[in-house]
Amino acid sequence: MHKIKTYLAGPIGVVIQDHAITWRTKAIESFNTMNIECLNPMGDKGGDRLGDGRNRMKKAVNNGELRFIRKYVSKTVIPPDIKMVEDADFLTVYIPKDNGYEICGTYGEITLAFYLHKPVYVITERCLKPSELPCWLVGCSTEIFISWKDYYDYISTRIKYL
């Protein structure tokens, strides 16, 4: 029997961010109760799959080493994330309040999932009226939630359809 899988998309950043781990850890715990497997770009069980590479990336960013960044991201970061999006049955996308960080990888993953006809569920802290979400994101989304509880309630009723 096929185990349902969700990819946990959302900001990570070059420097490890506690918040990036925290929401994913909570999501994994909640999805485990629904027997849904989580595909986590941070690594198994919320760890940091890049390890020492993350510090090297920070140094490269600070020094403007674009060749290193291009090679490292295109060979090490992007391929496994794209594979996880491909393997997922749906995306769980967390878009927190905008605090100036870039989340272009997340938007790329969302676009790929849309192209592959996979449901894209967005949970956000941003205002919906007026919308603080990029129109591209809204266009790729299946549903948008402002509460994790509402999202989990929705998914628990949709499992058989995913």
Domain CATH code at residue 120: 3.40.50.450
Of 9-18, 43-52, 96-105, the one with minimum mean pLDDT is 43-52
Cis peptide bond N-terminal to 79, omega within 30: no
Span 139-155, mean pLDDT?
Answer: 97
* 3-state secondary structure labels for all residues of 128-158: ECCECCCHHHHHHCCEEECCHHHHHHHHHHH
Q: Two tokens at 7?
A: 């990819």
- For residues 76 and 48, is the Cβ–Cβ distance under 8 A? no
Please give the tally of structural domains in the chain. 1
Span 111-121, mean pLDDT?
Answer: 98
Q: Two tokens at 104?
A: 């272009």
Give the structural domain span for 32: 5-161
Task: Give residue-wise pLDDT tens across range 45-89.
Answer: 545 567 677 788 889 989 999 999 999 889 988 999 999 999 999
